[in-house]
Structure 1
Amino acid sequence: MSKMIESLNIPRVEVDPVTLQVLGGSFKMIAQEMGMVLYRMSYSSIIRESEDIGAGIVDTMGRQLCESESTPMHVGSIGGNVKGILTRWNLEDIHEGDIFIHNHPYYGTSHSPDIHICLPIFYHGKLISFSCVQAHLLDNGSHTAGMDVDARDVYAETRIYYALKLYEKGQRNEQLWRMILDNVRTPSMNENDLKAMIASARHGIKRFTELIDKYSLETVFSAIEDWMDYSERMLRSAIRKVPDGTYYAEGWLDNDGKNLDKMLKVCTTTTIKDDTITIDLTGSADEVYTAFNASFEGTTKTSINYIMHALFLDDDIYHQYIPQNDGMARPVTIIAPKGCIFNPNFPRASFSRFNQANLLADCVMRSLADVMPDRVSAGTSAHIHFVSYNGFNAKKGEYWVYLEVDEGSYGGRCGKDAIDSCDALVANTRNVPIEEIEWHYPLRVERYELNPEIVAPGKWRGGLGIIRETRFLQEGTVTCEGDRHKEAPKGIFGGADGSSASMTKNPYSEHPISLESKLSDEEFSAGDVLQIRTPCGGGYGNPFERDPQKVLGDVLDDFTTIEDARESYGVVIDPETMTVDKEATAQLRAG
């Protein structure tokens, strides 16, 4: 008797290698095209420019089949969202023409402003899968515009849509649409972004059913099973190459946004046994009574799944397509005690959850440094400064909201210097051009450049974050979900630590104000300036082993100084000729 594909109860057939490769590329491109449709059609800069979205196809068991190459936190949580929807709806109650909206952080969503749109895919009258898109909408009725740090529970942080039908059998639910748009600060932007998401998901249905028409239902879904088995097999093989053992790393988050003097611990114990890996978060901080918690399904699991792919199956190592799908979750066990910051109890809020996810991924990576030295980087910025600038547009009668993700940097890597001015790890949003901001909002970006700190010394240097200064042209407020103002990114193997972040209000005035990493509705008058400095990554390896010519290059590029070259790297540079004094350098390094 042939093996059956459980989700569809159809025979699993053998797929030849060439067809398997063709279908694998097709799955990938369907998700990519879905993302492109959303980028092109959206109105808000957080989607159109930052590409803070995810898209893909999910089967009827909630297993992710393919994903767009966009923000890992989005694409990794698509399957969890479908599982969440299926806790409320039986498959037989889902019909062709239905469109679901969902954002419940305890039923799969990464955090509540990430709105999930899900369309069932029917083939010859049979439900076979779901076309899913999700994106961060500008405002969802939270306590403060655009985001929320202070919320004590999910009811305070935003409007919750738990598997609701925007359309039922093709009929638009006008009352639900009105309720949604009447309870946000940016109704026109939200409506157009939601329509763009629906168009994107419909494109996914079109492309996926075209593929089935061409190759047959049995062949396509058998190929999907083959690709899941392949991803699992490749990850198990990569894990098996690492010595068995238990490895530990920790880090500290600034605070929960309210208890400002209490830092929050992140503990990662990584255990490798044969071809399996366990990530144990026991010892991490308890859940908090603000929005600074991380949902388990949508954030914690997604962060760990991402770092598994990055560490073990990086494209630069394998030079072949290894899809991120549900097969990769099979060798991984996650232990997150109920009630900790990475597995909070309902109804704790989890709006501001990204910095926890990034530091978690950073700690897992650093825990494996001794046994995977060629795969890890030194400490990354492991943060985002996710900022909501907002004010009221009296002419339109609604708020303007601009959401900005301020990038950080990576740490040095084996054989390579770090990447500067780049989102690290789980963050993957794009830079919003200054012209876009100044065209649409009463803001002026007066400075945007690499953080002028000296790079963290190492055989391979750390990366530089950014410094950004934005002036309000009318009164407004700022809310920020930030971190790493207190703990700097760690250097490894003798490399120096990087530098931490900061935010300052009116930095060049007589009375500059140092701001905490988390803000809620900080008032800005017309003419006030917000300065943001993001962290610089750590160094990798002994700085005295760095090529002196590279040190000279760093001095010429203003990444370091002549004095620091001598003190940190043991490299003597003649200030007159700007060349390396080889003899003096050799003597200094020798002794």
Structure 2
Amino acid sequence: MTAIDPVTVEIIRNALNSAADDMNATLIRSAYTPIIYECGDCVVALLDADHQVLGQSAGLPIFLGNLETCTLATEQRFGREVWQPGDVWILNDSYLGGTHLNDVTIFGPVFVDQTLVGFTASRAHWIDVGSKDPGGSMDSVTIFQEGLRLGPQKLVSGGTEVFAVTDTIATNVRFPYPTSGDMHAMMACIQMGERRLQEIVRRFGLSTLELARDEIFRQTEMLERAVIAKIPDGVYTAEGVLDNDGIDLDTPIPIRLKITVEGEGIDFDVTESADQTVGPVNCGVSQAVSALRVGYKLLVSPDLPGNGGSFRSMTTQVREGSVLGAVAPAACQWYFSHLGLLIDMVARALAPALPDQVAGASHGDSMIILTAGTDPRVGREFVSLEATVGGWGGWNGSDGESALINNVNGSLKDIPIEVHETRYPWRITEYRIRPDSGGAGKWRGGNGTIREYEAQTDLTVSLWFERSRQPAWGLFGGEDAVGPEVVINPGRDDERRILKINGMSLRKGDVVRCATGGGGGFGDSTERSAEDVRDDVLDRNVTPEAARTRYGVDSTVPAEESGSSEARA
């Protein structure tokens, strides 16, 4: 192998990551719907000609190492010769891409002087894909209720848009104008990535790029293997449970994980998890693998950008026909609930071996509120979808963060109040931290939030809130967190408490109060300093009552008067 100098390697490494960032910026700035341009429910990547990741933007970790599945599946179906200059492809099949049909992947080949040098790919959430209910259904029992399902096919052929495909999409979604806008934003993103990759190839030459790629992959693999080699050989296990599948509300869904460490190799086995369910909590195999990769990366290589050298020391075992390896016609609309749980379970399983690198569990789910109706201000139908935020787990050295999106969604954001009230007929009357929702510990779990919505017109609301049976757990003596709670019309005669429902009718003036869960604590709560507890009370993260009952601290007594900052009530 011809040697390449390290300076060139670093220049190319950063050029590839910068190219991915340019793609992401193009998509977000060009998108038509808040789920993309405000929330950032998208991700992009540059791939080489062998479908290996060269560069990937910040985005949703759950798509980690997943976009190449789509380009590879296309090539396997149609052959290598299918790739032609000027083509752009689309795919959203849940059993190929792994996620729900709303997550649409658009990708295309990159050519330089008639040579295929790689691919550019993007994935983003489309607000509606023609499911039986606007935006998505919380009670679907088959993929055919969840919308338009597209296997890999061309959107653009030789630089010319394929009208038959784009027209089919437009006539099968409820909101063709913004959907078309988001689709073309993704196409622009693909073209931006194509230009950037072509520039890199022309500047350095394809052979130099490939040498740098091989060196980047080699370094990544070497660093990851070194970390795994330090983990004691053995078998590590963890088990978690989802509340239900949204249809049978009384039956929990077990998720089981076995991790085997041997030398520089690590294997993740989820074959003992539940069979695929009637309700829409299933995902394709590729998405389960992505979740395991997220859990792996959080502990093994959190500071390294993902690339084709990542995960070479990692193997996965997923059973087809299980809730993590669904086959047609399983419903997959809310595919992510068990994935957030699974990511936390990786840390729980490896906690005995990596006590200084793990954290208590996070609130774990996207906690979705989806609303639909007609906005009387503009006389048009609308659909809104928001992933809410909650608490993350404490770890050895820090309290957990409050009011963050869950670990599945990474850099996703909730919708700002101003944008929400401008775009949709809701008034948000309260938005604050939910005190005492994080688990107590030497290092306290982060808190969830309370967000209250008041309807400004008659409309429907769908809810998907999870992790009430098994809220975020603590580690090493840390206490469990408080789970989620949703109250309709709190304090009124018609008050209702519900976590999952599809298309519930509300009248103007009705209120939806969403309280999300916190993160698990870390370490024995009696080891937390009284001064820190009093600061928690002053910051309204902990109530005075919880300070007394959970920490044994009287928050009304100043530390300087107690005789010791460690004095207990």
Tell me if TM exceeds 0.5.
Answer: yes
TM-superposed deviation, 1:347: 2.4
Long gaps (5+) in structure 1:
3-12, 316-321
Check conservation: 2:117, 2:206, Cα contact below 8 A. no
Once the two structures are TM-superposed, the CA of residue 77 in structure 1 deviates from its matched residue by: 1.6
Q: Deviations over 1:208-229 (max 9, x none)?
A: 1101111001111221222122
Aligned equivalents of 1:76, 1:407: Cα separation in 2: 25
User: Is 1:366 the counterpart of 2:348 in the alignment?
Assistant: yes
Measure, in 1, the Cα distance between the counterparts of 2:275 and 2:470.
19
Tell me the CA shift for residue 519 of structure 1.
2.0
Deviation at 1:471, TM superposition (A): 1.6
Query: Counterpart of 1:87?
Result: 76
Match for residue 306 of structure 1 among 289, 294, 301: 294
DSSP 3-state at the match of 1:106: helix
- Distance, in Å, in 1 between the alignment partners of 2:55 and 2:381 is 36
Per the TM alignment, residue 479 of structure 1 is displaced from its structure 2 partner at its CA by 2.2
| Alpha carbons of structure 1 residues 395 and 541: separation in structure 2 relative to 1, 3 Å | closer
Q: Classify 1:364/1:580 alpha carbon distance in 2 versus 1 (closer, same or farther; 3 Å).
A: farther
- Aligned equivalent of 1:59: 48
- Distance in 2 (CA, whole Å) between partners of 1:112 and 1:454 is 33
Q: How does 1:332-343 map to 2 (within 5 A)?
A: 332-343=314-325
Q: When the two structures are superposed, what TM-score results if normalisation uses the length of structure 1?
A: 0.92
Whether the aligned pair in 2 keeps the contact of 1:307 and 1:425 (CA below 8 Å) is no
Displacement of 1:17 in angstroms is 0.5
The one of 404, 414, 429 aligned to 1:431: 414
1:462 matched to 2:426: no
Given the alignment, which residue of 472, 478, 488 partners 1:505? 488
Structure 1 residue 33: deviation in Å? Answer: 1.1
Which residue of structure 2 lines up, in the alignment, with residue 5 of structure 1? none
Q: Distance in 2 between matches of 1:65 and 1:482?
A: 36
Sort the Cα spacing of 1:346 and 1:436 in 2 relative to 1 into closer, same or farther, 3 A: same
**AA partner of residue 448 (structure 2):** G
Supply the AA of the counterpart residue of 1:126. T
* Cα distance in structure 1, aligned partners of 2:359 and 2:565: 31
Residue 301 of structure 1 aligns with an amino acid whose one-letter code is: V
1:127 corresponds to: 116
Paired amino acid for 2:562: D
| Alpha-carbon distance in structure 2 between the residues aligned to 1:149 and 1:455 | 27
The Cα shift of 1:329 comes to: 2.2
* 1:23 is aligned to 2:12: yes
**Judging changes above 3 Å, is the alpha-carbon distance between structure 1 residues 412 and 529 closer, same or farther for their aligned structure 2 residues?**
same
Q: Distance in 2 between matches of 1:568 and 1:397?
A: 52
CA contact (8 A) 1:552 1:580 kept: no
- Where in structure 2 are the equivalents of 1:94-173 lying within 5 Å? 94-173=83-162
Structure 2: segments with no counterpart, 5+ residues: none
**Alignment partner, residue 287 of structure 1:** 276
Match of 2:36 in 1: 47
Alignment partner, residue 10 of structure 1: none
Distance 1:374 1:183, change over 3 A: same
Which of 493, 508, 511 lines up with 1:526 in the alignment? 508
CA–CA separation in structure 1 for the residues paired with 2:430 and 2:29: 28
Deviation sequence 1:394-451 (CA, Å, 0-9, x none): 8978631111010111111111011000013222211211101111111111111111
Equivalent position of 1:240 in the other structure: 229
In structure 1, what is the equivalent of residue 562 of structure 2? 581
Report Cα offsets for 1:236-269 as digits up to 9, x if no partner. Answer: 1111111111111111101000000001111111
How far apart are the structure 2 equivalents of 1:505 and 1:86? 49
CA 166–305 in structure 1, closer or farther in 2 if over 3 Å, else same:
same
Query: 1:7 maps to which residue?
Result: none
Partners of 2:556 and 2:107 lie apart in 1 by 64
Deviates more, 1:152-161 or 1:489-498: 152-161
* Cα distance in structure 1, aligned partners of 2:544 and 2:156: 65
Equivalent in the alignment of 2:423:
440
The letter for the 2-side match of 1:464 is N
Q: 1:473 to 1:235 in 2, by over 3 A?
A: same
- For 1:76 and 1:478, the matched residues in 2 are separated by 34
Match of 2:529 among 526, 544, 547: 547
CA RMSD of aligned residues (A): 1.9
Distance change in 2, residues 1:206/1:274 (3 Å)? same
Supply the distance in 2 between the matched residues of 1:130 and 1:293 (Cα, whole angstroms). Answer: 29
Change in 2 beyond 3 A, CA 1:541/1:194: same
Q: Do the aligned residues in 2 keep the contact of 1:492 with 1:541 (CA within 8 Å)?
A: yes
Could you state the TM-score of these two structures normalised by the residue count of structure 2?
A: 0.96
